Structure formats: structure tokens, C-alpha cells
Structure 1
Amino acid sequence: MSTEATQTTVLVVDDDHANQESVARIFQREGLATLCASNGAEAIELLRRPEVAVMVTDLMMPGIDGQELLKTARAMRPDVEVVLMTAYATVETAVAAMKDGAYDFITKPLKRHSLVKAVQKALEKQALVAENRDLRAQIEALGGQGSRLMVGQAPAFRALLEMLKQAAPATATVLLQGESGTGKELAARFVHEQSPRARKPFVAINCGALPESILEAELFGVEKGAFTGAVMRREGRFERANGGTLFLDEIGEMPLSAQVKLLRALQEGEIERLGGTQTIKVDVRVIAATNKDLQKEVAEGRFREDLYYRLNVVSVRIPPLASRREDIPLLADYFLRRFAQKNGKNVRAFSAEALAALENYAWPGNVRELENAVERAVVLCKGDIIEKSNLPEDVVRGPQGAAGHVIISIGTPMEEVERRMIHETLRHTRGDKTMAARLLGIAARTIYRKLERDAEISEGDRALLPKEK
């Protein structure tokens, strides 16, 4: 028995015709289309049909049994989830089925609730996989250069992406510097995903979010009895990241006592758990991130100089959103699609006024602030177009994005202040570097050199650079 439909279809495979019909009816009553097969050969033919999403098959059948059919299905249609039915369930057969890629294992006599729940969960997993695949495709289309995690086209962003790609294959530590909200963890994940360690763990910890004692326990692990409440041995982030990458966010907030232990871990490739005496070897690549000027922190005694040099092997600066304004429409559109899908809303685009407001705002909170603003707009949007009124009040009012003004947060490194001033002045002069230099009271060659340092200078402009004597 079968029902023909283009909707999501469950393929039922059982050599017992009565059981086959009974199972098919259960799914039909749940609003699902079904196809039925009496043996493995028939099932293999039906698996070629694109509407088949889940296969529910008996394990014990003559000819091609359920185990062999499962392996064939995983090879032919890895997107199809498989649920096995059997009256001869053992722990060994269940484990073997799961290893071969079965989604679930149902024992006979069959219960309607168990069958329906297993197939619903399989369909939910399938939908989640499809959603993630679609999002990755969107990011690739927006980010270019095969990027699966980063979105942007601006020269500053492309220079960043190229540097991250160059750093990825190495084992050297990487120090990511930039304002809050610029996407430092995203950059760290990108390096990990592009590295030989991509299939190993990526473990992150925020060094500024935990008290000193808890931070050390989280990083290096704890032996039973190390302190009150330590009732069992616990691995730290270094051990969990073994073979992979450890991301230390807000490294500038790490207490000096923890810095000493971190330095040893980086130098020797070994750690000791709190309360322990055993030395544990670890193979971990460390990527650290900060929004502080670590050289200033070193000068003022708040950060160890030897640790700074150990971390600063490959230094990468993440540009603020204000210096990659061309990317605002791309990022906004990406966030719109993501949050529309997440909230089940048919929101398609921004009005011209809304997009202009986004482009003119200064975004002191960088990409994170833009993401939050678009999510709010999607939630509040009543139609399919986001209007200016759906945006946060600060963005609508736009005082921070007014022409001729640059907002600099207290504590921003001087190098970053200079970069922001040059970018905003060039934006004001529509790229005229001579006029920008005159407005800033600096030599034109200074602008050229700073742009060259940031990899944001064209070959034509590079020829204008004065030769070093």
C-alpha cells in the first residue's frame, strides 16, 4: 500500500504484509505520505525517489536484511534517516545499528507512540541539518572565497580573511585584537575550521567572566579533594581541547597567577590539575583575543611580558564595522534571513529608509550591535518589509552616525583611534587621500602607509608611496 505525494514521505519496509500495512496507516493518520516495500530490493528502488525522508524497516528479512539495507541507504541517500524495527532486539544489535547510522531502534510488539515519536524526531533532525546547510550556503555566497563562517566584501575584511587563512595551517599561537562585538570568536573558529585540527575540538573560555579560582579550575582541571566541593576529578579546558584549539577570550582580564600557569602550558605543552602532582601532556593550539592594548597592560604591570610575546606570534587586528561600511547591507541581509527563518516570519527586505539608517549609523557595538538591531526589527516587523520605525531608536535617531563625527570608546588603543579617524575622513572626502591628509593635518604619505599596513591600498596607490631611503 502506498500514497503518492510530493510531501515528506516515510518508506515502510517489512516482509510481513499485515505489519507493513499497520505501520503505514499509523503514519498516514499523522498526515505523512507513505511508500511500502516488501523486501530490500524494492526498498532500494524506492529510495531513489527524492520525497523519501525517513525509512522504517524491519531488521530480519529474507535476502537483503535490515542491517544490509541500512548500510545501502546510508551510501545511496545519506540524507534519509533510518529507523529499525525488530522482535529480536539485543544490546549488541542495537549498538551495531547505531554505529552503521540508524537514527533509532524500535522493538516489537510495536507501540504507536514509540513509532510516531521516533519518526518525528528523525524529521526534526533532518530539518535542522537542512537549515544549517542552507545557512552555510548563504554565508558562502555572501562571504566569498569559500568562507563558511565570515560575511563580508570590504577590503579591510578581505585582508583579514587572507591573514586568517595564512595563519590557519600553522601551529603558532594567534592573538586577535579588536573592539568588542567585532567577531573575534568567529575569527578564531574560522582559523580552527581552516586548520589541520578542524576535526578536533574547538573549546572556548571567557577569561574575564570567571573569578580567579574558578578560572584556573576551568582551564587546568581539578583533582578530587583539591578544595571544598571538589568531590570528583574534572578535566579542564586544556584537556578537553587536546588535539584541537583552545580560544581564550578577553585574555587581558586574566589574573597574573593564572598567567604564570598559562605560560608554562604554552612553553612546555603540559599542565597540572589543581590539587594534583601529575604532569599532563597536552597538544593544544591557543588563540587568544582581547579588546585591550596589551602592550600598555604590560607596561603597567598587569600583564606578563613573557606571556605577551608567547601569545603575540601571529597578531591579527579585527576591523571595526565602521571601517567596513560596504559590508553593512550584506550583514544586515544575512541577519534578516536568519532571524526571519528562526522566528517563522515572511520578512524579505529592508525599505530604502531603513537600509539608509543602518548604513549611516556608527555602530559602536560593531557586528554584535547590528545583529541585535536586525533581530529586533524582524520581530517587530508586521509586514514583509522592515521599515525604519522597526529599528532601535538610537539607529533611527542616528546621533552617533552623524556626518563629521566619530565615536571612540574610552580605552580604545591609539593605533585604532588613528585608523578610525583616517577611515571616517576618507569616507567624508569620498576617497580623496590628499584632501583627507589636509583635513587631518598629516602628510599624504602617512595615510598611504597606514592603508598599506592594513592591506587596504590599491596597486595604483601603492606606486605613489615614497621610496624608503
Structure 2
Amino acid sequence: MKEKILIVEDEFIVANDLRIILVKAGYNVCGTASSVDAAKLLIASKKPDWVLLDIILRGEETGIDLAWELREKKIPFLYISANTNQSILEAVKETQPYGFMVKPFRERDLLVMLDIARYRYTLENKEPDTIPEVLPNTEGIIGLKDVLEKIYVVAPSESAVLILGESGTGKEKTAHAIHHLSARRNMPLVTINCAALPASLIESELFGHEKGAFTGANSKRLGKFEQASRSTIFLDEIGELPLDSQAKLLRVLQEKEIERLGSNQTLKIDVRVIAATNRNLEKEVADGRFRLDLYYRLNIFPIELPPLRKHKEDIEELANYFLQKYAQKAGKKVNSISEQAMKQLIQYNWPGNVRELEHLIERNVLMATGNEINRIEMPEMTTVYEDESRIKTMEEIEREHIMKVLKTCNGKVFGPGGAAEILNLPATTLYSKMKKLGIKQGYV
């Protein structure tokens, strides 16, 4: 018998359809609930292994509210919902579910999502070897302990990895780190930027072509998947791939074989796939721009890279790392950044993330005339204040107030005596504010 599943869904017909599908597939459905209060009673009495969770339920509390409690109880969950607006998806992502399916759905998609979710949960919760303080082959990934731990866990496996994050957060460095810690490290990582491919050449670039396959095909060409045989392929900006190309990529991932353009011969491939995007793929799926089945195939083990403004505590270490790197490269003796210059870096909001910081440090190393960088010419969009008596912005005041409350609660956000209760805010609202203001529970 497979795991016990609790269904939390306020529409009887949908809940019943889910129950029938799951029982037919061999799962033990231990109950259904139409509200958060009813779900809590069933969770206490039935102790489910998994929860399928709708967002809009009967009563005042939502599925997102229940999700935070499930996280505290370490019960894995998946969302099944028709709500796909941006604010809902952002709140959903904060709760770190193991899947999100948009209604209506096919039976096959539900079961595939569950299989992948169960595999991810097993992979994330297996007893790892001792993780070293400094991982080899993770050059340039500074701080981000959670990210490094995920890299260490997933690298030795053959699982597909989906790296998520804004431009400049280090997605390609993360892909290189996974590859270089894997059993395929002795073969080169093959990289392709899906956003840079003309639509007419995507299939040829990915899968290759035979001589004469189309006008201008003057010789046989091996595609990126063939070049990555027994190695890893990194599909950067996968969210930019057109729908027809997504269908062809899905077939390759499912069948583990390719056909060159102009050939009727299938070739078996042994390739590990790492993909990356700065798009919200759940939103792209909901809007019909990205295939749900391809999303499942790629999203087996997601790694989300936070923007630099959300981990400013790492700026000093990152800046000094880039300082040493580019001073050595330029043959210069500059070896420190002044306190005032570092303050400038920390106060800036970094829309270009780590890449922007790296380029800024490189320029200032080249311009430095002594052993220390004393002041940095920041981009015009930021304002750096030297007067400590200046009037603070509302955002700064709000951040300081939330930080103060969190410290009095020893970092507890949810539940009795938590910061959400003291601030008289729903926990979901407080988590959203913390994310916006760059506050992490780990350093309050």
C-alpha cells in the first residue's frame, strides 16, 4: 500500500474525483476535508503522509495558511487549484510545496506529479554524507548554505534539476557545480541558451541534422544532446523555448532518444538535464505558454537562487572574493575595501544581482590607484547617504520593526507567541513582507 493521502478540497465533485483516481492508483485516501479546521482534525487523527491542498476553502483560513502548519509538522503537500494570479503564486511558492497543479487536470498528470513529488521528498530527506564546510567545485557560490546543501544532495544522482532565479543570481555557476560534483564530471558540460536560438534553428541545434536536411545544411551536424552523450546538458532560459520545440524536447526526455533532422534513424542518448529560467514556470503553465508535462519532467529537483537583495549578509564575502579574483587577474596589489565603500555596496538594491556586483568590483579594481578601494561609483538608480541622522524610509522603518519583533520571538513567525500574532498579521502576509524586505528567519 502506498502512502496515506488527505484531500483538502471544498468542491465535493473534485474531491471525489481525486479520491477515485488515487484509490485506483493504489494510494490510501485517509479522508477529505472542505475547510482548514476540518483538515486539522483529520491530520491529528489520521496522520497522513501527504496532503493534496486546494487554496480557497470554506471558512476564513486558506490552504496557504494550512500549508505553513504542514511545513512546521514536516508533512509534505501539493497544491491543486484554479487560482493562478501572480500574488497567489508568489504566496504558494513561499510555502515550498512539492507540486502545483492547475485545475482542471488529467488523471495521468496528477499521478506523474505525485510520483515526482515523492521522489523529490525521498531525495531531499535521505541521510546525506557529512557535508563539508567548503564544497569543491563550487567557485563563486558564496554563502547560500541551503543552496549548497541542495547541490551536494542532488549532484551524485541522475535526476533532472531545475534552477530558478532572477538574471545574474548565478544559475550557470550552480549548473557547473552540480556537474562537477557528479559522476559525469570527466566529460564537458554542454551549455545552450534557449533564448538565443532562432526559432528556425532550435531543432537543428538541439538534435542535429543530416547533410541536405534543409537549405544551407551542407554537412552533417551533431546537436547539443548528441554532444552531451554520457555528460550533462544545461538548457539555460528554458522558459523561452517555443511550444512546438517544448513538445519535441519532452519526447527526447521521455524516450531518451533523438532523431537528427533529415534522418529516420533514432539514436539512444545518455544525457543528464539541468535547466534554468528566470520565469515563473507555474504562471507560464497556467497561461498556456509552457507545457505542464515538460514542467514535471524538468522540475524533479528545483533549486531556487535568491536575489542578492535578499541575502545582503553575503555581500561583504562576495565583494572580497571578487576583489581577490580580479586583483590577481590584473596584477594589482589592491587587497581591501574600505568600511565606507562596503557600506555603499550593502545599501544598494542590486537589480542585476551577483553578476552586477562582480562587474562593479572588477571595474573598481582596474580603476584603483592604491591598496584599498575607498569609494565606489554606484549606479545612478541608488542613493547612498553618509549622514546617519537622515530620515529613514517607511520600508527601512518597517524592516527594523519586524526584525525587532522577530528577535523578541526568537525568530518564531507562526503560531502562538509568534511574530505574526504580535504584529496582528496573517502569517502569509508577514512571510510576504519578510521576503520583500530581505528578512530571513535564520539571521534575525
Same fold (TM over 0.5): yes
- For 1:33-182, what aligned pairs fall within 5 Å after superposition? 144-151=133-140, 154=143, 157-182=144-169
- For 1:218-237, what aligned pairs fall within 5 Å after superposition? 218-237=205-224
Which secondary structure does the structure 2 equivalent of 1:232 belong to? coil
Residue 396 to residue 253, structure 1, CA distance change in 2 (3 Å): closer
- For 1:3-42, what aligned pairs fall within 5 Å after superposition? none
Distance across 1 between alignment mates of 2:382 and 2:429: 35
Partner of 1:377: 364
1:351 aligns with 2:354: no
Q: Is the 8 A contact 2:140 2:173 kept in 1?
A: no
Residue 254 to residue 426, structure 1, CA distance change in 2 (3 Å): farther
Q: Is the 8 A contact 2:349 2:382 kept in 1?
A: no
TM-aligned CA deviation for residue 450 of structure 1: 11
Residue 395 to residue 194, structure 1, CA distance change in 2 (3 Å): farther
Q: Is the 8 A contact 2:142 2:318 kept in 1?
A: no
Distance across 2 between alignment mates of 1:174 and 1:167: 8
Residue 290 to residue 173, structure 1, CA distance change in 2 (3 Å): same
Residue 152 to residue 208, structure 1, CA distance change in 2 (3 Å): closer
Partner of 2:269: 282
Structure ID, larger Rg: 1
Partner of 1:391: 377
Distance across 2 between alignment mates of 1:176 and 1:439: 36
1:332 aligns with 2:345: no
TM-aligned CA deviation for residue 403 of structure 1: 6.2
1:442 aligns with 2:425: yes
Residue 152 to residue 240, structure 1, CA distance change in 2 (3 Å): closer
Aligned length: 299
Residue 152 to residue 224, structure 1, CA distance change in 2 (3 Å): closer
Residue 297 to residue 269, structure 1, CA distance change in 2 (3 Å): same
- For 1:245-324, what aligned pairs fall within 5 Å after superposition? 245-324=232-311
Aligned equivalent of 2:347, options 350, 360, 375: 360
Quick one: which amino acid aligns to residue 391 of structure 1?
A: E
Quick one: which amino acid aligns to residue 206 of structure 1?
A: N
Residue 449 to residue 345, structure 1, CA distance change in 2 (3 Å): closer
Quick one: which amino acid aligns to residue 322 of structure 1?
A: R
Q: Is the 8 A contact 1:201 1:242 kept in 2?
A: no
Counting aligned pairs with the same residue, the percent is 47
Distance across 2 between alignment mates of 1:361 and 1:450: 19
Q: Is the 8 A contact 2:163 2:304 kept in 1?
A: yes
TM-aligned CA deviation for residue 440 of structure 1: 7.6
Task: Output the TM-score relative to the length of structure 1.
Answer: 0.57
Distance across 2 between alignment mates of 1:403 and 1:222: 61
Which secondary structure does the structure 2 equivalent of 1:182 belong to? coil
Aligned equivalent of 2:171, options 184, 203, 221: 184
Residue 446 to residue 397, structure 1, CA distance change in 2 (3 Å): closer
Residue 296 to residue 395, structure 1, CA distance change in 2 (3 Å): closer
Distance across 2 between alignment mates of 1:340 and 1:247: 30
Distance across 2 between alignment mates of 1:315 and 1:424: 32
Quick one: which amino acid aligns to residue 173 of structure 1?
A: A
Distance across 1 between alignment mates of 2:295 and 2:219: 34
Residue 438 to residue 314, structure 1, CA distance change in 2 (3 Å): same
Q: Is the 8 A contact 2:406 2:419 kept in 1?
A: no
Task: Output the TM-score relative to the length of structure 2.
Answer: 0.60
Quick one: which amino acid aligns to residue 176 of structure 2?
A: R
Distance across 1 between alignment mates of 2:147 and 2:328: 29
Residue 199 to residue 439, structure 1, CA distance change in 2 (3 Å): farther
Quick one: which amino acid aligns to residue 252 of structure 1?
A: G
TM-aligned CA deviation for residue 171 of structure 1: 1.1
Partner of 1:96: none
Distance across 1 between alignment mates of 2:209 and 2:404: 56
Quick one: which amino acid aligns to residue 227 of structure 1?
A: F
Once the two structures are superposed, what CA deviation does each residue of 1:95-122 show, in whole Å capped at 9, x if it has no partner? xxxxxxxxxxxxxxxxxxxxxxxxxxxx
TM-aligned CA deviation for residue 394 of structure 1: 3.4
Q: Is the 8 A contact 1:350 1:387 kept in 2?
A: yes
Which secondary structure does the structure 1 equivalent of 2:196 belong to? coil
User: Can you give the 5+ residue segments of structure 2 that lack an aligned partner in the other structure?
Assistant: 1-131, 386-390
TM-aligned CA deviation for residue 376 of structure 1: 1.1
TM-aligned CA deviation for residue 379 of structure 1: 1.3
Partner of 2:69: none
TM-aligned CA deviation for residue 217 of structure 1: 1.3
Which secondary structure does the structure 1 equivalent of 2:195 belong to? coil
Residue 457 to residue 359, structure 1, CA distance change in 2 (3 Å): closer
TM-aligned CA deviation for residue 349 of structure 1: 0.7
Residue 316 to residue 439, structure 1, CA distance change in 2 (3 Å): farther
The alignment's C-alpha RMSD in Å is 3.6
1:342 aligns with 2:354: no
